[in-house]
Amino acid sequence: MMPRRRALALPLLLCLYALACSSCVVRRRLITRKGAKAVPVLLTSDKQTLISRIAGEYQAIQDFSATVDMTPALGSSEKSKITEYKDVRGYILFRKPADIRLIGLYPVVRNKAFDMVSTGANFRLYLPSSNRFIVGSSDVPARSTNKIENLRPQHFLEALMVQPMQPDEKADFENFTDEDNAVYILHFMHILPDGEIIPTRSIWFNRLDLHLARQLVFDSSGNILTDARYSDWQTYSGVPFPKQIDIARPQDEYAVVMSVVKMEINRGVSDDKFVLEQPEGTQLQVLGQKPAPAPPAPPPPVKGKKKAT
């Protein structure tokens, strides 16, 4: 019986020894997150709370005036060619429901690089370098080979003022948390009468602070129209707003990185700030306008008749 007991005791002793020496065989790793100074405690939320958060932040802003440093980039990562323009000073004016104006100044000399405005359905864009004044419907696709002509004020409005959930939208909720990511994602979509699901946008929230981190806006085919990223949230006049905003328009082949230098919220913006007249001597280009029909030709003269005397 003694040898049998010893045989049974040997595995038990080995297990106890392994537990005693667990520090030799077990390795613990602390997961740190980008933007966190220490090992963070992730915040929790749910779909309805995040939907309400978007609506609350949108409703808190009636207007703003911002001074920003901008880095526009023309080109596309898909075509492996991007040209950046450093140290562009920008001024942004916004007033609800949809008035927005953006002015960009070149580095050093601070001459005007562009001036554009939209009050909803239409936009105006002035490009001094090419002496052109472009007007058109906000719905007209921007597909110019000269990428700076693809700038549209409503693209910036879409990124800067994230819209609440619309009546015709449905929302799905995702917790995307692993070793590299800690975000909640709201997926917004349209559901057609035949049951087809059309994605409209997705909004990401950082679980470190539950602030908005990213917004993707899609076209009807699911391709990305706008990819906007938000970081370094600050409080201006008691209202939270991101100091760093990166906006990419991959189909229009341009992107802009903006850093807020000065922000005034809900101080009022007058009507004249959204008026942009065509400068004298500039070339006018109207987008999306159908050519006017030619006037009817005059009837041919009737032969064989004498004039009355």
Q: Does some domain include residue 134?
A: yes
pLDDT digits (tens, 9 = 90+) for 248-259: 999 988 999 999
Q: Is the pTM of this model over 0.95?
A: no
CA distance 101 to 124: 9
What's the structural domain count of the chain? 1
Q: Which residue has the tokens 């201006």?
A: 236
Establish if 26 belongs to a structural domain: no
Task: Map 180-210 to HEC letters.
Answer: CCEEEEEEEEEECCCCCEEEEEEEEEECCCC
- At residue 294, the pLDDT reads 46
Residues 6+ apart with CB under 8 A from 111: 105, 128
Structure tokens at 260: 């807020």
Ranges of the chain whose pLDDT falls below 70: 1-39, 75-85, 142, 288-309
What are the Cα distances from residue 297, in Å, to 13, 276, 292? 109, 38, 15
In a domain, 37, yes or no: no
Q: What is the CATH number of the domain that holds 262?
A: 2.50.20.10
Residue 302 falls inside a structural domain: no
Amino acid making up residue 295: P
Q: Which domain does 187 fall in, by range?
A: 47-160+168-287
**Contact between 100 and 84 (Cβ < 8 Å):** no
The CA–CA distances, whole Å, from 306 to 298, 300, 303 equal 19, 15, 9
Please give the torsion angle defined by the CA atoms of residues 165, 170, 242 and 268, in that order, rounded to the nearest 10 degrees. -10
- Number of Cβ within 10 Å of residue 35's Cβ equals 12
> Is 110 a member of any domain?
yes
Nearest to 56 by CA among 302, 239, 243: 239
Is the Cβ–Cβ distance between 116 and 102 less than 8 Å?
yes
DSSP character at residue 55 = H
What's the DSSP call for residue 233? E
Residue 6 forms part of a structural domain: no
What is the DSSP track for 93-135? EEETTTEEEEEEE-TTT--EEEEEEESSSEEEEEEGGGTEEEE
The number of beta carbons lying within 10 Å of the beta carbon of residue 98 is 15
Contacts of 283 (CB under 8 A, 6+ apart): 131, 132, 133
- Position 18 in a domain: no
Please report, for residues 133, 146, 159, 250, the alpha-carbon distance to residue 281 in angstroms, rounded to integers and kept in the order given: 10, 21, 33, 33
Q: Are 113 and 106 in contact (CB under 8 A)?
A: yes
Tokens (6 digits) for 146: 């000269």
